[in-house]
Amino acid sequence: MGQIELIEVSKSYDKQHHVLNEINLSIEQGEFFVLVGPSGSGKSTLLRMIAGLEEISGGTLRINNRAVNHLPPKDRNLSMVFQNYALYPHLTVEQNILFGLNAKKVDKQEQKKRLNETADMMGLSELLKRKPKELSGGQRQRVALARAVVSEAPLCLMDEPLSNLDAKLRANMRMEIRRLQQRLGLTMVYVTHDQVEAMTMGDRIMVLNDGKIQQIGAPITLYNEPANLFVASFIGSPKMNMGSAIIANQNMIIEHTLSIPIDPSKMPQILKDRQFTIGIRAEHLPYGTNDANTHEVEVINVEQLGNETLVTFEVGRELWTAKWLGQWMVHVGDKVPIQISAEYFHFFNSESGLLVRAATAEKQQEVIAI
């Protein structure tokens, strides 16, 4: 039995159009669970429903095996960190951290003990007498985190808490939040639109789109075996390269442009004699050698990232990106050889968008154990 269970949970503001539709989900105790999706997908609404800040239109929400649909937020034994920090500008850091404990009339000695432990853990001991306007964005975020931690609630909800920070600080805070969650054994439900945050932080990820669950699973599972075209294009950076394809004369023709040798007997039966969609990851398009699977393409964009090089080229109407480790001195307009092998392709039903078969290459399936 999970610590949080959503059973057929729906949300509608007009009883006709569902913002969230029949969400079934179980989150385990001590799990770092990430809700990810584009803007308007319903992820923040779902988090607010768990918190008690949004009314549930249909279904049941259970926390610790207890239905809580009609309980106010203060009775759900949880804490929440908001996108805009939600600090009181007229209060000091210390007063902001202790605000919830004061409201609950926790003993003053206990408050001081928790404050000192939390401030030390979050690196805020020297800032307790400052006000929010005297703090940097990262420091304000740590204050918001400290307020959640000091409550000692076993369940912590976070609504895009890092979106206002710069890239370097975001990376540091991702690590801090993950370490904090593991150290305290919190169950954390974390909302983000950033799939890199989702991949690097979550034990499991739920991908939402248009109020419906697209896939739930471990980050690496979503990357290697995306359930449909939406997940395939949303998870991974750069996104998966896509194209329409057909089989003709023992070749797979992609976007009426690329011809890839393939054994028709190894094709999923459901895709034979019809158009389908393929996908291939950027790292599975290496610099080519003189073999049957090498194709020459014209470079239309190059991104030098220092540790890797991203090379973009056209495949019919689609733009594909190849990711090569290291620094490659290629330029826009260059013709470069790229190796494209059928065993690295994912096959999707073009009509339903569902995955028919994930890539079969040994490299795709490989898991390195240490």
Query: Is residue 107 located within the same domain as residue 249?
Result: no
Considering its fold, how many domains does the chain have in total? Answer: 2
Query: Is residue 287 located within the same domain as residue 147?
Result: no
Residue-wise pLDDT tens digits, 181-209? 898 889 999 999 888 899 999 999 999 99
- Of 197, 228, 259, the domain-final residue: 228
**CATH number of the domain within which 327 lies:** 2.40.50.140
Query: Is residue 242 located within the same domain as residue 102?
Result: no
Query: Is residue 119 located within the same domain as residue 203?
Result: yes
Query: Is residue 273 located within the same domain as residue 204?
Result: no
Residue-wise pLDDT tens digits, 273-330? 789 999 999 999 999 887 767 899 999 999 999 999 999 999 999 999 999 999 999 9
- Residue 323 lies in domain: 238-365
**CA dist 318 to 238, 279, 283, 338, Å?**
14, 12, 17, 16
What integer pLDDT is reported at residue 169 of this predicted model? 78
Query: Is residue 24 located within the same domain as residue 74?
Result: yes
CB 208 within 8 A of CB 35: yes
Taking the alpha carbons of 339, 343, 349, 355 in that order, is the dihedral positive or negative?
negative
DSSP label at 287? B
Query: Is residue 217 located within the same domain as residue 269?
Result: no
Q: Is residue 370 part of a domain?
A: no
- Of 178, 206, 228, the domain-final residue: 228
Query: Is residue 170 located within the same domain as residue 283?
Result: no
Residue-wise pLDDT tens digits, 206-218? 999 999 999 999 9
Q: Is residue 233 part of a domain?
A: no
Query: Is residue 261 located within the same domain as residue 215?
Result: no
Query: Is residue 49 located within the same domain as residue 180?
Result: yes
